[in-house]
Chain A
Amino acid sequence: MALNTKSRIGSALIHMFFWAFTIVSLVPFILVFMVSISSEDSILQKGYSLFPSQISFAAYHFLFNDFSEIAKAYGVTIITTLVGTVISLLITALFAYPLSRPDLPFRRTISFYIFFTMLFGGGMVPWYITYVNMFDLKNTILAMIIPNLLLSAFNVLLMRSFFASTIPESVVESATIDGASELKIFFKIVVPLSLPIMATIGLFNTLSYWNDWYNCMLFIDKPELYNIQYLMTKTLTNIQYLLMKSNSSAQVGDLLAKMPRETVRMALAIVGIAPLLFAYPFFQKYYISGITSGAVKG
């Protein structure tokens, strides 16, 4: 009985903690949304507010004026995100798993080879030249899939330690004794045992593909190949850049005056990220606890 009350208080505390955390996470997001549907006037008068005095969808009308442009950009983003996430997850897992085996020859060398890329880089210029001159990726959809995004050293090393901590060596050993090939062990035993991990890294890949505008900015000159994040972000970054330069040139100051207003800036953010909200529940499906190694062995 006493135990029961104790755990009930405990769980109430946990929920309170989470509600506070939820509010802190959710409210700013809602605020962004509310500002995007406020009228420009109410922003001028009262600043940002969760309860705008006047609702207006003018910002979205402005953005969706040219809907075909936005639809195309969503298309590009969805394709690059889907293809990129799948390939990336596969390469990452293939790379990380062998490294999680303590007895792999060159394990340390290969790990260092991966890790070193996180520390030292030659900078953007030679990197860009490599992809443009050697692989001719300029103005192709591959430019938004391959450079930098396809494999993250961070994810490989993280996944390696996931594998190391969740795949019991005994499972692999017994499978090897049974005569299973390494590839079979990987796909038939390791992957099913690591669904939460795969889902997590898959989620990270999805986030980085969906949010990427940098590759699009550098490699893409054709507006029909713009992805949604670049289409949305460029306006915001233009404003930042012009603000920086506005003291140096009167004309730049004039340009700023023509930039979209606060409500549009927030609508840009919403249009850019809103579809991502559907991504997480998809990955959550694989957050199944309860698979035990015994189940796999059996």
Chain B
Amino acid sequence: MKKAYHLVLMIMLCGMLALTGCGKGDSGKAAEPGASSGNAGGKSESALKPYKITLVYPATAAKDLQLVQDEMSKYLTEKINATIELKPIEWASWDDKTNLMKISNEPFDLMFTASWFSYPKDVAKGQYLELDDLMAQYGKDIPGVLGDDFIKGSRIGGKLYALPTKKEFGQGFGFLLDKKLVDKYKFDTNGVKSLEDMEAMFKTIKENEPGITPIVSSKFTNIWEAANYDGVVANLSIPRVSKEPKAIDTLEDPKFIDFYKRMHQWNQNGWFDKDVLTSDADQGMNMIKAGKAFAVAQSLKPGKDKEMSLSSGVDVVQVETAEPFTTTGDAQGAMLGISRTSKDPARAMMFLNLLYTDKTLLNMLDWGIEGKHYVKKSDNVIDFPEGVNADNQTYPNPGGWMFGNQFNSYLWSNEDPNKWEEFEKFNQRAEHSIALGFAFNQEPVKSEMASIANVEKEFGATLRSGAVDPEKIIAKWKEKRKAAGFDKVKAEVDKQLAEWAQSQAK
């Protein structure tokens, strides 16, 4: 019925109304009628002309990319009379290739971006369009899905240039522990553990399990820093407990120095692996798998331990060392922006709107075609079809965390069926930084920042490994950082923060 209705409308070239029809017909959650009437208001005179939307994101091109692309195009033609070109780019070539696309004014519509993936730089250099008006017109459902804080956190200088994926909003902090050993020594992993609690565990392991390294890699120090400070740049951070958006220098913060004295002690106790200077979390999982290690630090989210147990093949349990914390960096952790070279930004925004609201479309992008790349076990739960497994699948997930509303994404039968409810709870639990929504513009001090990056690299990892006396290395670090232009950076951070705070007060 619906389909016939829709077809008739298509023939009558009432594209805008057709959108409403499809929205109701195909997706589990109907689009708000407001969205389509918004569209109608924008282009009521003529129907939408056919248009190809190009979506650029980091991933390895899947074998069946073309098939999925065709299927999505078919679906999108019905919805917004558009087709789609999926343009995955290998992670390692991303910087070069996208840089060339931007410089050579290549037309494309949507591009993945993130605070750690050149979002602030590209905004400063004018690559992305401002989205507020477009969203008000063509993406009316998005604010409802994301909520104010998510959108606030995505802004740069008060303006919105990209829309974040709805996913976990904040980071949890802690360790993944070898389940065998947790069971053997009956460690309690519930609730949030203090550093002393953790020390007791490591001590037990060190004393009773001679061949086992209590903790692999210095990643825990990153995690501790991220849990306690909202970092801006160059060790300038807003402490989590701070009630005003003012940056301090962590290298002068007693709490910070005490923590690293403790890490130095941990290192002296022999709790870290011998290769702590080079080891990363990836190696940590390997060592746990080989029965050579007990713990590795991780950013946590609900179900992280299950996920890691599945992908590595060894049972681990997670233990939190801090409540989740949300900073601008987390809000901008995965986003899609509309390029200044887009030929039809309005259509790109309509597509974005669908990614946040249309379950069918999102899952096509995430998992491929039903029956071919996955089969449904129940409404929300999917699994591989007969004869397909993780090694020979032809449309591996490009990364559901990159697109739209991840909470609309299907779950696999080996996942926690309540995953998204847990995420929702996690997001509510997360404490927001006082400076959430502040994004530092590096342009005025980019030359100093470039010099400081090398200084940070030189001293940061050594300090974190706990291999040397923290006070000595911090003194050297500070001296060299000053020579690289730290004072100017600090003045700029203070200035921008004050301006931002003022704009927030209004």
> Which A residues are closer than 8 A to B by beta carbons?
41, 44-45, 62, 65-66, 124-125, 128-129, 132-133, 217-218, 221, 223, 234, 237-238, 240-243, 245-251, 253-258
Contact = CB atoms under 8 A, between A and B. Distances in A.
A256 B301 CA distance: 17
Interface in B277-301: 280-282, 285-287, 289-290, 298-299, 301
Contacts of A242: 91
Interface stretch (B243-251, B306-314, B346-354): B306-314
Interface stretch (B92-100, B234-242, B487-495): B92-100
A45 B290 contact: yes
B67 to A, nearest CB: 14
Interface in B40-90: 60-61, 63, 87, 90
Question: What band does the interface of chain B fall in when counting residues whose beta carbon is under 8 Å from A?
Answer: 35 or more
Contacts of B355: none
Contacts of A251: 333-334, 399, 401
Given A246-B280, A246-B281, A218 B298 contact: no
B104 A128 contact: yes
* Interface residues of A, dominant DSSP: helix
B114 interface: yes
A163 B342 CA distance: 55
A124 B329 CA distance: 31
25 contacts: A44-B286, A44-B289, A65-B392, A128-B104, A217-B90, A221-B87, A234-B90, A234-B93, A237-B93, A238-B90, A238-B92, A241-B91, A241-B94, A243-B280, A245-B117, A248-B116, A250-B171, A251-B399, A251-B401, A253-B281, A254-B307, A254-B311, A256-B281, A256-B282, A257-B285
A218 B116 CA distance: 23
Contacts of A132: 104
A124 B96 contact: yes
A125 B286 contact: no
B462 interface: no
A32 B103 CA distance: 40
B253 interface: no
B222 interface: yes
By CB atoms of chain B within 10 A, which of A129, A221, A237, A249 has the most?
A: A249
By CB atoms of chain A within 10 A, which of B103, B282, B301 has the most?
A: B282
A65 B282 contact: no
A248 B120 CA distance: 14
B133 interface: no
A290 to B, nearest CB: 48
Given A45-B290, A241-B91, A257-B312, 9 more contacts: A124-B96, A221-B87, A223-B61, A234-B60, A234-B93, A251-B401, A253-B298, A256-B281, A257-B311
Contact of A249 (B114, B289, B290, B307): B114
A185 B438 CA distance: 73
Contacts of B183: none
Nearest 5 A-B pairs (CB), nearest first? A248-B116, A237-B92, A44-B290, A250-B299, A241-B92
